[in-house]
């Protein structure tokens, strides 16, 4: 579905599974592994909680998280899982 249809206020968090380059020290290898990344909203601000980062990365508001998601999806082979309450899932209100 298009990202514009995602009702972000109904979503508790997002989990991305995306390709991640492998490296051996300073040498970048031509192999890719899968990596899980969590995105979470706290007080209206979205954060990238990637374990490979030194600290959480501020993505900003809904526009910022949508831009991050669009860039991740543009890389290809990216999966996005939504974390929602049971009620939101049953009503399907995670879509606009």
- Tell me the CATH class for 3-84: alpha beta
CA distances to 18, 26, 28, 32, 60 from 23, rounded to whole Å, are 16, 7, 4, 9, 29
- Is 0.85 surpassed by the pTM of this model? no
Tens digit of each residue's pLDDT, the chain (96 residues): 788 899 999 999 999 998 776 666 666 655 667 889 999 999 989 999 999 899 999 999 999 999 999 999 888 788 999 999 999 999 999 988
Within the chain, strands assigned E span 13-24, 27-42, 45-48, 57-60, 79-83
Residue ranges covered by each domain of the chain: 3-84
d(CA 40, CA 43): 10
**Close Cβ partners of 13 (under 8 Å, ≥ 6 residues apart):** 38, 39, 40, 41, 82, 83
């Amino acid at each position: 579905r298009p990202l514009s249809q995602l009702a972000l206020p109904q979503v508790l968090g997002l989990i991305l599974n995306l390709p991640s380059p492998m490296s051996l020290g300073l040498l970048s290898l031509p192999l890719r592994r899968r990596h899980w990344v969590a995105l979470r909203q706290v007080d209206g601000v979205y954060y990238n909680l990637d374990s490979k980062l030194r600290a959480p990365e501020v993505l900003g508001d809904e526009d910022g998280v949508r831009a991050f998601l669009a860039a991740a999806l543009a890389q290809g082979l990216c999966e996005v899982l939504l974390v929602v309450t049971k009620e939101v899932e049953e009503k399907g209100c995670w879509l606009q």
